[in-house]
Amino acid sequence: MAQVLEFKLPDLGEGLTEAEIVRWLVEVGDVVAVDQPVVEVETAKAMVEVPCPYGGVVTARFGEEGTELPVGAPLITVAVGERPPSGGGTAGAGSEGSGNVLVGYGTSQAPARRRRVRPDRPVTGAAHGPGAAVPAAVDGRAGDAEAEDGPVPVISPLVRRLARQNGIDLRELTGSGPDGLILRADVEYALRAAAPAGAATPTAEPHARVPQVTSPSLAQATAPRPSATAAPGETRIPLKGVRGAVADKLARSRREIPDATCWVDADATELMRARTAMNAAGGPKISLLALLARICTAALARFPELNATVDAEAREVVRFDHVHLGFAAQTDRGLVVPVVRDAHVRDAESLTAEFARLTEAGRAGTLTPADLTGGTFTLNNYGVFGVDGSTPIINHPEAAMLGVGRIVPKPWVHEGELAVRQVVQLSLTFDHRVCDGGVAGGFLRYVADCVEQPAVLLRTL
């Protein structure tokens, strides 16, 4: 007899707690192979094709195109161990999972939930395909379909943190998500219920239990609460997708990191001349961003305190022996920060090529979660927007960001005389927990010295 396995939306990257279904790649009744992509989803960071770790016959899909699902919500159910009705091959292969890993999700270590299904239960989420001789799919509730392992009430670390910061006991809540999953909306509902009398929140007892939302209405369980009605003259724009992710991350950075900023003007004339000479020698062109990145990695080797993060719970500073360099890139989908892996071992030519590849992928919307996570330091060239200076907001959970303004001709005292030179303003925002001002000032001064005299960099290689 076939066994119905439930495949849930896996963790697709750091800080991502939900994804929107863009396009289904399979229909109910289709035969899928192990690791075959079954759905295309859009997170706040990238478009991703999600492969199913099981081979078999699709018995149900959960969510229509355009629906936003939380991590851990069911995507599809697959009947394995039984030959498909149209002779499309054995569907049992893959019942143990492929072992392939999405970000934060190993199929061999975390197999989909296996359920014993009552034959009289109807299929929910979608209908069976024509002639699909498979058992009825589960309706997503732990009470009606027995599971070998108990339900996980909270998956998102964001939900845990929100509850912890506001003194909400998660054990007192009943989740409105699939299988009783506690969502961020459930914690926010409890917070509104616990608000003082007279506040513009629903009336309820403190730490009120949220009513259980049951299948088949998965859309109701995951639908966002209605926004406030716009007043005359107002336009309300939802903070969702990339814009919402950026807003959450920037707010978290400002809330958690005691940052400070220092800046210096530097004469970039010699750096620009060096780049011109390098590109005149033939071969691939070297970008200015690549030269600045090369300077950054050299500076981080001298001041490793800034290539770090803070583990607040352990009260420890974690330093890295590698530099995964993020860089801010503006795209049609919004601001993204792709990451150049192992930037410290790359030369200027390799850095130029990788910056170009990631920038093009960002514009095309094809960056993967792996391209957008794991950074240890960020370089932000906001000079491309025609501005001289800024106070960068640290890309949480990193410890520092270097900002670079536009390079423009300005009056400058050079070798004791007034001259017109190519001047740039450099800004360093740093987490004051990882170092004091002396280290930050030393880092920035070294960067400025390399910009003014590129030969300084050669002496440290």
Q: Which domains does the chain have, with CATH numbers?
A: 3-147 (2.40.50.100), 157-222 (no CATH), 242-460 (3.30.559.10)
E strand residue ranges, 163-282: 259-267
pLDDT score, position 197: 46
Q: Which of the residue ranges 133-147, 296-310, 316-330, 409-423 would you say has the lowest mean pLDDT?
A: 133-147
pLDDT score, position 22: 85
More confident residue, 125 or 367: 367
Strands 339-340 and 18-24: unpaired
Q: What is the dihedral of CA 54, 56, 60, 63, to 10 degrees?
A: 40
Note if the bond before 216 is cis, omega within 30 degrees. Answer: yes
For residues 382 and 20, what is the distance between their CA atoms, to the nearest angstrom?
30
For the chain, report the end-to-end CA distance as a whole number of angstroms.
66
For residues 250 and 230, what is the distance between their CA atoms, to the nearest angstrom?
25
pLDDT score, position 238: 82
Catalytic residue numbers read 432, 436
Q: Helix or strand or coil: residue 408?
A: strand
E strand residue ranges, 208-338: 259-267, 308-311, 316-319, 325-327, 329-331, 334-336
C-alpha distances (whole Å) from 252 to each of 96, 187, 248, 257, 317 are 39, 18, 6, 8, 18
Over range 136-149, report the average pLDDT. 34
The pLDDT tens digits of the residues spanning 99-115 come to 444 433 434 333 333 33
Average predicted confidence (pLDDT) for the chain: 77
pLDDT score, position 15: 57
pLDDT score, position 163: 78
Q: Please say whether the beta carbons of 21 and 41 come within 8 A.
A: yes
Q: For residue 32, give the H/E element and its range.
A: strand 31-32
Distance, CA of 127 to chain centre: 33
Classify residue 78 by burial, with Cβ atoms within 10 Å: 0-12, 13-18, 19+: buried
